[in-house]
């Protein structure tokens, strides 16, 4: 079991689909309603701000991915360029963020499932979805990637249907409050939405499994971010144009398109949301397992997580742990809080990644981009809720305690 090796089975198309699969899902189908409640019709501005911040950080990841193609993403970048403690903390925050993100996405999945089957107990089904995602990942990377590609294609088609409906039934009056939106609300919305944009980095987590990783990982990052940003903006405009900004529902798109009277429109969107959140959950479990594997390989996590199955080439112990941890968190059932806590961890480790990129030899313009990425992450952290900040700081404290006690043992 431990003698198995990771297999290079992921193509450029697969890697791009992993990025799109991670980005286009919870943010559009689930968190958009939460962010709209904070920013109102100016949620479109929140999306643009979050996208700009994500692009700055993505460019840092592009530079870092060219420097190293090891499994583990931001954790491995920090390990190569920063002191060991900061590398560990980066990996720890990645795991915390993405385990929580898995729970968030699973909750979104169950919310949309309940729109198709009213009365369905959402929280238990969210936990079950996490376990199913782990089981699929457990079966092998090829099967997981093929299923993800299918789900990504399906959700893009359905989102384009939503955009078309949105522009056919557009209500310009729903944007009247755009100019009066508060800056705090817009930035708070951006901080929430950033958590979904951050999925582009999931590509770097599986670098050792990507064919010609030095070329394909950077390309996949930028392609995934470009496709996702266009979809985000179009869907947000269509959603507000259809349903206004009063709803903070986790099923915001389905409730918005219901106003059109198009037969089965809400059902189609709900099916798209199921495909979208399923793909995000699938690649989230994949990402958590690979970072756990990388940390275990470097003795920063329990050694059992470094075991790779010789037939499938999958770190199965890490996959199981990722699925179970997300399932347990999904039982909490608090969508807004869970998304905010995930955003804190993601912004924190992306700040470390940007700082790592500053350590690379590069042109002043490249360093300026990384510095701007670092600054944008820190600014967005300040606009998360006090409760999210408190829990995030507590998570950093717990990780620090674990690190120093482990070093002494």
Please write the tens of the pLDDT for every residue from 170-221.
Answer: 888 888 878 777 888 888 888 778 777 878 888 999 999 999 999 999 999 9
State the 10-residue block means of pLDDT for the chain, 409 residues long.
74 94 75 80 88 88 90 90 92 86 83 82 91 95 94 93 90 80 84 77 92 94 92 89 67 77 84 88 93 94 92 91 92 64 77 91 88 87 80 87 82
Domain-located, residue 1 = no
Q: What is the structure's pLDDT at 1?
A: 41
Taking alpha carbons only, the member of 253, 250, 288 closest to residue 268 is 253
In this prediction, residue 247 carries a pLDDT of: 58
Query: Which residues span the domain enclosing 238?
Result: 12-408
Q: Is residue 340 part of a domain?
A: yes
Are residues 203 and 17 in contact, defined by beta-carbon separation less than 8 angstroms?
A: no
User: Residue 82's pLDDT is what?
Assistant: 92
What's the CA gap between 335 and 329, in Å, rounded? 11
Q: Cα separation of 185 and 372, whole Å?
A: 22
116 vs 106: CA distance, rounded Å: 16
Its sign, for the CA torsion 344, 347, 353, 357, is: negative
pLDDT tens, residue by residue, 267-294: 888 888 889 889 989 999 999 999 999 9
Q: What is the pLDDT of residue 251?
A: 64
The distance from CA 75 to its chain's CA centroid, rounded to whole angstroms, is 16
CATH number of the domain to which 368 belongs: 1.20.1740.10
Position 349 in a domain: yes
What residues form DSSP beta bridges with 212?
none
DSSP string, 194-248: HHHHGGGGHHHHTGGGBTTHHHHHHHHHHHHHHHHHHHHHHHHHHHHHHH-S---
pLDDT at position 121, please? Answer: 87
Domain count, the chain: 1
In a domain? residue 376: yes
Contact indicator for 227, 153 with CB cutoff of 8 Å = no
Tokens at 228, concatenated: 């996702």
**Is residue 6 in a domain?**
no
- 390 belongs to a structural domain: yes
Would 2 be classed as within a structural domain?
Answer: no
Q: What is the mean pLDDT of the chain?
A: 86
Q: Residue 7 falls within a domain, yes or no?
A: no
């Amino acid at each position: 079991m431990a003698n198995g090796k990771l297999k290079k089975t992921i193509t450029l198309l697969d890697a791009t689909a992993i990025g799109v699969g991670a980005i286009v899902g919870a943010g559009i189908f689930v968190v958009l309603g939460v962010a709209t409640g904070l920013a109102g019709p100016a949620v479109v501005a929140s999306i643009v701000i979050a996208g700009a911040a994500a692009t700055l950080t993505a460019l840092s990841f592009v530079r870092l991915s060219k420097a190293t193609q090891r499994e583990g993403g931001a954790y491995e970048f920090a390990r190569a360029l920063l002191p060991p403690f900061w590398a560990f903390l980066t990996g720890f925050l990645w795991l915390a963020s993405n385990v929580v993100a898995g729970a968030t996405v699973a909750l979104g999945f169950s919310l949309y499932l309940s729109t198709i089957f009213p009365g369905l107990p959402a929280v238990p089904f969210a936990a079950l979805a996490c376990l199913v995602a782990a089981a699929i990942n457990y079966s092998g990377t090829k099967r997981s990637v093929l299923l993800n590609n299918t789900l990504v294609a399906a959700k893009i088609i359905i989102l384009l249907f939503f955009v078309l409906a949105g522009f056919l039934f557009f209500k310009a009056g729903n944007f009247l409050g755009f100019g009066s939106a508060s800056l705090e609300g817009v930035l708070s919305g951006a901080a929430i939405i950033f958590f979904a944009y951050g999925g582009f980095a999931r590509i770097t987590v599986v670098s050792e499994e990507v064919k010609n990783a030095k070329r394909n990982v950077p390309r996949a990052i930028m392609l995934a971010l470009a496709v996702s940003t266009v979809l985000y903006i179009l869907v947000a405009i269509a959603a507000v144009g259809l349903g206004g900004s009063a709803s903070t529902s986790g099923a915001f798109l389905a409730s918005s398109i219901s106003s059109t009277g198009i037969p089965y429109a809400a059902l189609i969107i709900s099916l798209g949301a199921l495909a979208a959140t399923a793909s995000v959950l699938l690649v989230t479990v994949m990402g958590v397992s690979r970072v756990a594997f990388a940390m275990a390989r470097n003795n920063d996590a329990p050694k059992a997580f470094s075991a790779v199955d010789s037939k499938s080439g999958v770190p199965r112990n890490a996959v199981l742990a990722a699925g179970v941890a997300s399932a347990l968190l999904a039982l909490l059932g608090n969508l807004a809080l869970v998304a905010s806590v995930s955003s804190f961890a993601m912004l924190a480790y992306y700040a470390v990644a940007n700082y790592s990129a500053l350590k690379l030899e590069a042109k002043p313009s490249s360093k300026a981009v990384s510095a701007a990425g670092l600054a944008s992450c820190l600014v967005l952290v300040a606009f998360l809720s006090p409760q999210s900040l408190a829990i995030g700081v507590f998570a950093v404290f717990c990780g620090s305690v674990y690190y120093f006690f482990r070093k002494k043992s």
